Amino acid sequence: MRRFCLLFGLFLFALLAGCGQQTAPNAGGEAMAQEVATTLQAADAQLYRIAEPLGLAGVPVPTAPFLFASGVAPLDTATWNCDSVTAAGNLSDADDDGIPVNATFNGKCTWSYSGSEGSVSGSWEFQSLNVQDPNDADPTAGVKASGKVIWTFSAGGSTITWTWTLTQHDFEKGSSGYSFTYKGSWTIETGQGTFTAEYDLTGTWTPDDPSDPWGDGALTAEGQFDASGPSCADGWHLSVTLTNLHYQGGKIVSGNASFSGTDCDGNTGSVTIAWSPDQVCITINGNTVCVAQ
Ligand SMILES: [Ca+2]
Ligand SMILES: [Ca+2]
């Protein structure tokens, strides 16, 4: 499964290349397009939590598709043009969580930056991005989203285009925690070819403290990833089961994960991981290694 890393290295490159802080206009009482994107990033934090156990199994998942939320480049000084972005539907945001009642965004923001490091430019496009607040009277109720977000990033004569299709991204609070369904795909186009990955995950997130939904808690999920790229035309497949992973103080202190799949060459394999407060034990095709944490 070595090639999992090769495929996803490019995702991570695109991520790091485009990070920055966007200054967004704010219209009081209504959710703006840029504001919605920032909120989606926070609400999808659970998808990013999945990245840690996947990384241990050799599958580094792109962890922050919203390129301009935080990061390394001073893009807050870039020149922005978001004039073409339109919003339709109900933009009301009574609980001020950045998530409108039910709105659909279309349009494109372009930006450019020139400094001592050189010149870079890019765009950020919404195609029928529908965002809904499951409860506009509760800022911790979750978010539902579908549609498409496309980023481009150009520097040094090359361009990366990253398309994120959100087939279904529902993260909703229930009686004893949150349930989620994430279905979608990433497509990355570069001078080296086109890389694609599809994912289909369902699960639950149970915060330790209901008043702090993004803090410590337990994650259970199952689903699959399928991907392909120029050097992996037949693609690879990975099935994932995460059982009661307890995140505490920024690390996983208990729970289990199991992965099985087929790599680019058609080889099958399996990985299981068991966490305890002071060590992580990884079993690859029947051989176990434990490391302190
Ligand atoms: Ca809201
Ligand atoms: Ca809400």
Instruction: Strands of 68-192 (E only): list them.
Output: 79-81, 86-90, 102-115, 118-132, 142-155, 158-173, 178-190
| Rounded distance from Cα 199 to ligand 1 centre (Å) | 27
| Rounded distance from Cα 143 to ligand 1 centre (Å) | 9
CA dihedral 203, 209, 210, 214 (to 10 degrees): -60
Closest ligand to C-alpha of residue 142 is 2
Look up tokens 């809904």; give the residue: 132
Helix (H) or strand (E) holding 247: strand 232-248
Going by the DSSP 8-state scheme, the letter that residue 6 receives in this structure is H
Angle of CA points 68, 71, 72, to nearest 5°: 120
| Rounded distance from Cα 47 to ligand 1 centre (Å) | 21
What is the chain's pLDDT, residue by residue, as a tens digit (293 residues)?
333 332 333 333 333 222 222 333 334 455 555 555 555 554 444 455 556 665 665 554 543 344 443 333 444 556 667 777 788 899 888 988 778 899 888 888 787 877 776 788 888 788 998 888 999 999 889 888 889 888 888 888 889 898 888 899 888 999 889 998 889 998 989 888 999 989 898 999 899 998 887 789 999 999 999 999 998 888 999 999 999 999 998 889 999 999 999 988 999 999 999 999 999 999 988 899 999 98
- pTM for the full model? 0.75
- Give the whole-angstrom CA distance, residue 149 versus residue 4: 24
| Rounded distance from Cα 96 to ligand 2 centre (Å) | 8
Q: What is the CA radius of gyration of the chain?
A: 20
How far is Cα of residue 178 from the mean position of the Cα atoms in its chain?
17
Predicted confidence (pLDDT) per residue in 51-106, tens digit: 666 566 555 454 334 444 333 344 455 666 777 778 889 988 898 877 889 988 88
- Give the whole-angstrom CA distance, residue 2 versus residue 10: 14
Closest ligand to C-alpha of residue 100 is 1
Domain coordinates of the chain in residue numbers? 3-292
CA dihedral 150, 153, 158, 162 (to 10 degrees): -30
| Rounded distance from Cα 97 to ligand 1 centre (Å) | 5
Closest ligand to C-alpha of residue 95 is 1
Closest ligand to C-alpha of residue 135 is 2
| Rounded distance from Cα 87 to ligand 1 centre (Å) | 15
| Rounded distance from Cα 132 to ligand 2 centre (Å) | 9
- Give the whole-angstrom CA distance, residue 34 versus residue 126: 10
Closest ligand to C-alpha of residue 102 is 1
Query: How much of the chain exceeds pLDDT 90, in percent?
Result: 30
| Rounded distance from Cα 211 to ligand 2 centre (Å) | 14
Predicted confidence (pLDDT) per residue in 210-223, tens digit: 888 778 999 999 99
